[in-house]
Amino acid sequence: MKKIYLFTILGFLAILANGQAGLKGTVVTDSLYSENLLNDFGENPTRSISVYLPPDYESSNKKYPVIYFLHGFLTDDKLMVQMKDLLDYAIEAHKINPFIMVVPDQKTTYDGSFYSNSGLFGNWEDFTVFDLVSYMDANYRTLPKKESRGITGHSMGGYGALKLAMKHPDVFSSVYAISPGALAIVREYGPNSDTFKEFSKVKTLEDLDKTYFGKVVVAFGRSWSPNPNKPPFYCDVPFEYVNGEMKVNQQILAKWHENMPFYRIPDYLDNLRQLRAIKLDWGRNAGERFTIQCKMFSQQLENVGIDHFSEEYIGTHVSNIYTREGRIPQQVLPFFDMYLDFE
C-alpha cells in the first residue's frame, strides 16, 4: 500500500513538473511619462519600458522581487525580447525563483543617457530611481521594499547599475554589473589616447557619426558636462586641443570624476556598506579599457574594506552573456536569487 501511495505521489509530482516546464513568462511593453525628463533638446519624456512577468503571474496573487536591468550604449528596452527565453529558462531550471524584470528605454538622441542627471538633456538618474521604481510598485505586484529590488546591466548599463546602487542603497539592496564601462578615465578615454585629438577635428553631427569613440565622448559630455551655449554638441570635454597642444580643463574633469564610480568610492563608503551584495564581472578579451577599469574598481573596493565579488571570465565585451550558457542565466540571476527577498 505504501509503495502504491509513493508511486502515486511521484507520478503527480512528475505531471506537475512537466506542466510547469511548459509555462512561459510574458513581456509587456509599457510606457512612462516623467517630468524629470522634460528638456528643450528633443529627448522624449515618455519612455518605453519592457516588463517581464514570470509564468505564474496571471494565475496567482503572489508578489515578486524586481530586477532592474539597464541596457548598454546604442541599445534600448527591446533587449528584453532577446532575454525572455533566458529568463524563462532560468526559472524553469531553478536558477532563480519567479521574479519580475524591467528594462527602461534610455537610448537618447546621443545614443545613451548614462543613467545620469544631465539637467539640460533630462534627469535620467531620477527617472530611473524614483519614477520607474514608484511606477513598478504602483502598477505591478512587486514586493515594494529595497530588500526585494536588485539592479544590474551590461556595459553602459553596468556603469549605471553600480552608480545608482552606490548612491541609492535605500532603493536597491544588491547590484551586479556586467562588464561595466565608464568607471574611470583610462585608455581610449584618457588624455594620451587619440580619441580627443580626433574629436577636436570633428565639427558637425554628420562627422560625429563616423567615429564611435567621438560619439561616446559626446554622450559623456551631454550626461556630465552639458553646455547649452556650445553647439553643435552642447557639451564640454576635459581634454581639448588648442593649436595642436592638449589642454586639460580641470573644472570639466572634476565633473566627469564626480560621475565615474571609481573616483566616488571614498564618498560613498557608508552607502556601499549598506548594500547586501555587490558583484562585477568582465570578459578577459573585452579590451583593456574595460579590463583595467574593472580591476581598478574591484581593487579599490578591496582596499577600503568593501566586501564584494569580482570575476574575470573567458570572453569579449559581448560574448558569453545573452545565451543559456552565458552570464545572465548562469551567474546574474542565481546571484539575485540568493540575495533578494522573495515572498
Note the pLDDT tens digit of each residue in 68-125: 999 999 999 999 999 999 999 999 999 999 999 999 999 999 999 999 999 999 999 9
- Answer yes or no: is pLDDT of 16 > 80: no
- Tell whether 194 and 205 lie within a shared domain: yes
- Stretch 327-339: mean pLDDT: 98
Out of 254, 279, 299, pick the residue that ends a domain.
254
Residue with cell 552608480: 163
pLDDT given for residue 21 in this prediction: 53
Beta-bridge partners for 109: none
Residues 39 and 25 in one domain: yes
**Residue 282 above 90 pLDDT?**
yes
214 and 161 in a single domain? The answer is no
Question: Is the domain of 148 the same as that of 195?
Answer: no
Which residue in this structure is represented by grid cell 535620467? 124
Residue 134 and residue 207 in one domain = no
Determine contact, residues 119/52, Cβ cutoff 8 Å: no
- CATH value at residue 139: 3.40.50.1820
Is there a single domain that holds both residue 87 and residue 229?
Answer: no
Pairing of strands 66-70, 100-104: parallel
Picking from 238, 254, 270, the residue at the C-terminal end of a domain is 254
Does position 289 have pLDDT exceeding 90, yes or no?
A: no
Exposure class string for 98-137: b at 16+ Cβ within 10 A, else e: bbbbbbbbbbbebbbbbbbbbebbbbbbbbbbebbbebbb
If asked whether residues 309 and 320 sit together in one domain, one would say yes
Contacts of 290 (CB under 8 A, 6+ apart): 179, 180, 181, 282, 283, 317
The kind and range of the H/E element at 150 are: strand 149-154
Task: Place 269 in a pLDDT band, splitting at 50, 70 and 90.
Answer: very high
3-state helix, strand, coil in the chain (%, to 5): 45, 20, 40
Q: Give the end of a domain, one of 221, 254, 287.
A: 254
Say if residue 287 is in the same domain as residue 240.
Answer: no
Q: Is residue 168 within 8 Å of residue 161, measured between CB atoms?
A: no
What does the pLDDT read at residue 17?
45
**Do 80 and 120 fall into the same domain?**
yes
Domain count along the chain: 2
Q: What percent of the chain has pLDDT over 70?
A: 94
Residue 193 and residue 180 share a domain: no
Q: Same domain for 38 and 111?
A: yes
Q: How confident is the model at residue 22 (pLDDT cuts 50, 70, 90)?
A: low
Which pLDDT belongs to residue 7? 42
Task: Check: CB of residue 209 under 8 Å from CB of residue 196.
Answer: no
Confidence of residue 288 (pLDDT cuts 50, 70, 90): confident
Range of the structural domain that residue 210 is part of:
187-254
Identity (one letter) of the amino acid at 91? I
Long-range contacts of 262-268 (CB under 8 A, 24+ apart): 262/183, 262/184, 262/293, 262/296, 262/297, 262/300, 263/184, 264/163, 264/166, 265/166, 265/297, 265/300, 265/301, 265/304, 265/306, 266/304, 268/166, 268/167
What pLDDT does residue 99 have?
98
* pLDDT of amino acid 324: 96
* 22 and 107, same domain (yes or no): yes
Q: Is the pLDDT of residue 8 over 80?
A: no
C-alpha cell read off for 292: 583595467
Q: What is the mean pLDDT of the chain?
A: 93
Q: How many CB atoms lie within 10 A of CB 181?
A: 25
Q: How confident is the model at residue 242 (pLDDT cuts 50, 70, 90)?
A: confident
